Structure 1
């Protein structure tokens, strides 16, 4: 995949100033040209890198850079060219990233609320994505630390889980396999583990359990 990025420049409409003195001849009439240079990714502007302005004396054609102006003149010329209305579009990429982050946060909040509800009312066949390196102390999984635990029964003193045989490098690997279909019984070892109800919630809050999935009931 190619990533297209770089710096581009946009020229603003020419304006005419009548109150900036020419360093060469002393006249005050200038033709001003302004540019906004901005960084882009796939042609989407992300932020402004600079805003040069050139002033050409209408009398002697002497050219002055904005940096040569006094503080007051520079402020006046900047205000003539650059306004909030023509500035905001150059931060479109940042705005899109913030929006995406906000939507991602909302989605995560919704998922968490659903998972908390499943914690409160666990059901047989619920699948918990687990970090085996945290759940089973002292065992080296050689980087394949994530797997699936399936509820097999709800006991008086805790939840009985079957542990998946296959483990993955990340919880995303488990998520991907779950999207392909819930594991069949042969996917789990014969021995089950019993975890007290309170400990299940603690393991979820600590991140040892990073996700909970429930198979959707078939429509009648």
Structure 2
């Protein structure tokens, strides 16, 4: 379950003179700011409200937002909504951006490795593939499978196609990592011959979904 919503806080500002209270005529006010923010699991994502306020120290008459004269309102806002107070409310967005950048970097590194492996295939390399590119009548419910490099020549690779199919690429990947490919009946006897120069194209077309070495 994802917990999200809005929360709020009051930040205190300095005392301010020079604005007569409409209720009692005194001109000394406490300043403050109302901050509301959207959160996910109580981690602030971004502010949804920044409203300056003033309270007469004599009669406690309070003014908020547009009730304060425009010039004074801007000055109070600048005093109470400082960077130190507002920037932490973007913590969640900063974390999301960091995670996104990390994932993008990791994806780029993996893509570079896969391009290297396809350019110089080795015996034992495993490809998670879309079976539609290799069998006449693929199972629409289980469209993914595994090819393993059995032999490498200067211009071609000989592969064996797995006899098991998976509904998602992750299922085929788990089979590779989990050692399922060691079963005697996992691969069929008929070789699949591909030109080495075609491997990069098949990856670009996503017929080859991923590469494991």
TM-score by length of 2: 0.88
Deviation at 1:181, TM superposition (A): 1.9
Which residue of 1 is the match for residue 176 of structure 2? 178
Which shifted more, 119-128 or 204-213?
204-213
Which residue of 2 is the match for residue 104 of structure 1? 103
Deviation at 1:6, TM superposition (A): 2.1
Tell me the SS of whatever aligns to 2:32: strand
Q: Does 2:203 correspond to 1:204?
A: yes
Question: How many aligned positions are there?
Answer: 212
Which residue of 2 is the match for residue 160 of structure 1? 158
CA contact (8 A) 2:180 2:186 kept: no
Which residue of 1 is the match for residue 81 of structure 2? 82
Change (3 A) 1:69 1:193: same
For residues 159-209 of structure 1, the C-alpha deviation after alignment (integer angstroms, 9 at most, x for no partner) is: 222111112122111222222125124211222221222211101122221
Deviation at 1:25, TM superposition (A): 4.8
Which residue of 2 is the match for residue 188 of structure 1? 187
Summarize the alignment of residues 1-220 of structure 1 with structure 2, pairs less than 5 Å apart: 2-133=1-132, 135-136=133-134, 139-181=137-179, 183-184=181-182, 185-214=184-213
Segments of structure 2 that go 5 or more residues without pairing to the other structure are none
| RMSD between aligned residues | 2.1
Tell me the SS of whatever aligns to 2:164: coil
Distance in 1 between residues matched to 2:119 and 2:31, nearest whole Å: 68
Deviation at 1:103, TM superposition (A): 1.1
CA contact (8 A) 2:131 2:145 kept: yes
TM-score by length of 1: 0.86
Change (3 A) 1:121 1:53: same
Deviation at 1:98, TM superposition (A): 0.9
